[in-house]
Amino acid sequence: MPNQVLTIEPQNELKFKVDFSRVFEQGHTTYMRLINPTTDTVLFKIKTTAPKKYCVRPNSGVLDPNSKVDIAITPQPVFVDPNDKHKHKFMVQSVIAPEGKTNIDQVWKETSPDQLMDYKLKCVFENPRGAILNDAGDTAAQNEVTKKRVAVADEGKAPTKTSSFPENAESDLQKATSEVILLREEESKLRHENLQLKEELLRLRQSAGGDGRGVARRHSYGPEKTAQVAMMPWVATAVAMALLGIIIGKFLM
């Protein structure tokens, strides 16, 4: 296998700032520079052992003679097992483009594996404060991740029923609601009866100036009966207020 003709910076390690104690957090972008110091056109590809966990832009391309390109590598917001991160590696694969070949995909297909130039880099992870995670830090981070995953799972469970009122208060509330409904029905009946009495009183007054039958009717509803009719609205209101006061008193006790 031929030696890599590209100059790669950094040479051995790609350092990433990732806080493994925060689940699904996107890491900081790291850059890798490829330099073509030759007089040949070089095709390149960037490969990784964890393709779903990194965004690489560009991940392939063409380097003209004496040119360079910066590759942006960003850890994606997906769960990364702290024990698995030691297996993450990147590889720069390149080949010198044959003269007269313009179809890049065809060049890659026609190139045999022993003609490819490979260069591997390992991944090193740092916390946001810049310290490299050691074994103790890895264990602590893993424990923190486990706690957060358990917390997320607990949040997904059906919430328990909580209430600021005792159970007997809920029962009293249902009873009070029923009493209020009955009270409103009773008040409606009283209003209907009061309206009927008012209509009857109006008919009596209209017939009072007519014939003797009207006078007889007026005498059948004398002053005492008329006073009772006039007092009906006040009686209905008093009854409603009394019942409402009783209900409110139950909640305040």
pLDDT in tens, 73-91: 998 887 667 777 788 999 9
Does pLDDT of 216 surpass 60? no
In a domain, 116, yes or no: yes
Residues 61 and 150 in one domain: yes
Q: Is residue 64, in this structure, part of any structural domain at all?
A: yes
Tokens of 87: 């297996």
Per-residue pLDDT band for 209 (boundaries 50, 70, 90) equals low
Number of folded domains in the chain? 2
Residues 66 and 92 in one domain: yes
Query: Which pLDDT band holds residue 248 (cuts at 50, 70, 90)?
Result: low
Residue 207 inside a domain? The answer is yes
CATH code assigned at 106: 2.60.40.10
Q: Determine the Cα–Cα distance for residues 228 and 250; give it in Å rounded to an integer.
A: 33
Write the pLDDT tens digit of every residue in 21-55: 665 566 789 999 999 999 999 999 999 999 988 99
178 alpha carbon, distance to own chain's centre: 39
75 and 199 fall within a common domain: no
72 vs 227 pLDDT, higher one? 72
Look at residues 129, 154, 179 and tell me which one is the last residue of a structural domain: 154
* Residue 160, in any domain of the structure: no
Confidence check: pLDDT of 156 > 60: no
Residues 200 and 232 in one domain: yes
Return the DSSP state at 132.
B
Average pLDDT of the residues of the chain: 75
- Residue 234: predicted pLDDT: 62
Q: Are residues 150 and 238 in the same domain?
A: no
Residues 122 and 176 in one domain: no
pLDDT in the model for residue 58:
96
Domain-ending residue, one of 90, 120, 154: 154
| Domain co-membership, 35 together with 95 | yes
- Nearest partner of 56 among 36, 32, 40, judged by Cα: 32
Higher pLDDT pick, 148 / 198: 198
Q: How confident is the model at residue 162 (pLDDT cuts 50, 70, 90)?
A: very low
Q: 2 lies in a domain?
A: no
Mean pLDDT throughout 122-144? 58
Mean pLDDT along residues 238-253:
65
Q: 118 with 92: CB under 8 angstroms?
A: yes
Strands (E), the chain: 7-9, 13-17, 30-36, 42-48, 54-57, 60-63, 67-75, 89-96, 117-126
Q: Is residue 85 part of a domain?
A: yes
Q: Examine residue 161 and state whether it is found in any structural domain, yes or no.
A: no
pLDDT of residue 202 exceeding 70: yes
Domain with 71 in it? 7-154
Question: Of 154, 175, 209, which marks where a domain is finished?
Answer: 154
Q: What is the pLDDT of residue 183?
A: 75
Interval 112-121 mean pLDDT: 93
Residues 148 and 24 grouped into a single domain: yes
Query: How many residues comprise the chain?
Result: 253
Confidence of residue 1 (pLDDT cuts 50, 70, 90): low
Q: Higher confidence at residue 247 or residue 58?
A: 58
Of all residues in the chain, the percent with pLDDT exceeding 90 is: 32
With a CB cutoff of 8 Å and minimum separation 6, the contacts of 149 are: 23
Same domain, 177 and 73: no
8 A C-beta contact, residue 95 and residue 43: yes
Do 174 and 219 belong to one domain?
yes
With respect to residue 175, please indicate whether it lies within any of the assigned structural domains.
Answer: yes
For residues 191-204, give the mean pLDDT. 81
Same domain, residue pair 112 and 175 = no
Whole-number pLDDT of residue 100: 81
90 and 52 share one domain: yes
